[in-house]
Amino acid sequence: MKTLPKEFVESILSLFPEEAGYFFEALSNNAITSIRINVHKKSTAFENETPIEWCANGRYLAERPSFILDPFLHAGAYYVQESSSMFLAACIKNLPLPANTIALDLCAAPGGKSTLILDSLPKDSMLVSNEIIKSRVNVLQENLIRWGSPNFVVTNNDPKNFQRAGAIFDLIVVDAPCSGEGLWRRDASAINEWSMPNVLLCEARQERILQDILPCLKPGGFLIYSTCTFNELENEKQVEKLVLDQTVQPYPINIPADWPCKSNDNFQFRFLPHLVKGEGLFMAVLQKPNVQDDSNKHQKRAGLNFVSKKLLPELHIWLADPLSFDYFMENDFAYAFPKSVLPEYEIIRSTLYVKHAGICMGKFDKNGKLIPEHSLAMSTAIALQIPKFGLNRDEAISYLQKGNINPPNNGLIGWCLAYYEGLALGWLKVLPSRVNNYFPPEYRILKDIQIG
């Protein structure tokens, strides 16, 4: 560990005087790798590893494997996520959310918290996964598509733009951009970027983000605010300002007393490096007062270009429960979106920039047949009867590198899923004399490896 900035050391000595020695010593320890299992994509990946206390699907790993060379990762069987941040699952579990919850992950890239939120919400809900920085939106979209849930929308908007949609959200998660003090154990080089002026810059940015997005929270709705830093300016002081303004109020939650996080009030929680296996985290659970709000009076809804009845049968054959979706066209692509939350999606679509919504099914050819997209292959809503082309590990790696696949000898022909250990990796099209690999080139494994 590099020499810590003097002002940071003084701050920790002030915040945790009795524990500071243990705190500083822990910053020199190696970071522990953790993953979260996708329960909707059954696999043997890491099922026997040590569970994470606050997340039923989280696992600590004894060592860090080569994730990029694991077909299970590309199939969406798990997500590599820092363990402390999975505490979000416990917070959401403690909230009395409605059956059709509309949630927003405001600062979402690269997608760890978004995939966790999708697994934590009631079944017929919708997550708007937003990333403010345009260059980070593609990786967010990729990770959400890989996870497989159809109940999400990817957007790229400034927080203030959401006010055009009105008070539409039952839950808003703000994992705010911060000075990153809690990640130094994982990335010691980040110490060089720390300064008190940067802390103050982050504090001002966080305050603006919160003020801009809170009008979009429904009366009685919940805000979960988090950072991966330690100082009070970016944590408790931000929450204190909101509570003093009566914008929100504390919402205490019940967690086991033996969990190794610090909390004096049960609505603000700190994860410290000498107490947990994960990294530094601050998280607060807040609720908007249940007062009258007229901001939804003039909500607009987009006029979606719904797929014609003539083409619907072609889409229905690809999904396990096709009648639970509505279908619309966008830029020549057909999309399937859950009926349960379509009205809320229409509001989002009419007021914000949407990058992706639901399942991108694909394009129709001149004969009205679907040319399927990768989003459909990865979806947990895909029909079970879709033909499958089984691959061993070597073949799966070759497929993920956009390599050649040998034709099958079982008479399989046409579109089929490239399948590895019971999970889809993407599309193949089997022709009489060859197999076309339709794995998206932008997602392919670029690293050359020795297989076998």
* Segments forming the whole domain that contains residue 376: 300-385
Is the domain of 115 the same as that of 68? yes
Is the domain of 310 the same as that of 360? yes
The structural domain count of the chain equals 3
Q: What pLDDT was estimated at residue 452?
A: 36
Is the domain of 65 the same as that of 14? yes
Residue 225: φ, ψ to 5°: -110, 135
Q: pLDDT category, 40, cuts 50, 70, 90?
A: very high
Distance, first Cα to last Cα, the chain: 38
For range 230-245, the mean pLDDT: 97
Residue 431, in any domain of the structure: yes
Question: 438: domain CATH number?
Answer: 2.30.130.60
Is the domain of 318 the same as that of 425? no
Is the domain of 365 the same as that of 424? no
pLDDT in tens, 329-360: 999 999 999 999 999 999 999 999 999 999 99
Task: Show which of 252, 287, 322 is a domain's final residue.
Answer: 287
Residue 1, in any domain of the structure: no
Which residues contact residue 307 at a Cβ distance below 8 angstroms, ignoring those fewer than 6 apart? 315, 327, 328, 329, 334
Catalytic site positions:
228
pTM equals 0.96
pLDDT in tens, 87-124: 999 999 999 999 999 999 999 999 999 999 999 999 99
Contacts 24+ apart (CB under 8 A), 252-258: 252/285, 253/90, 253/91, 253/94, 253/95, 253/285, 254/94, 255/54, 255/90, 255/94, 256/53
Q: What pLDDT was estimated at residue 187?
A: 85
DSSP string over 332-398: TEEEEEEGGGHHHHHHHHHHS-EEEESEEEEEE-TTS-EEE-HHHHH-TTB-TTS-EEE--HHHHHH
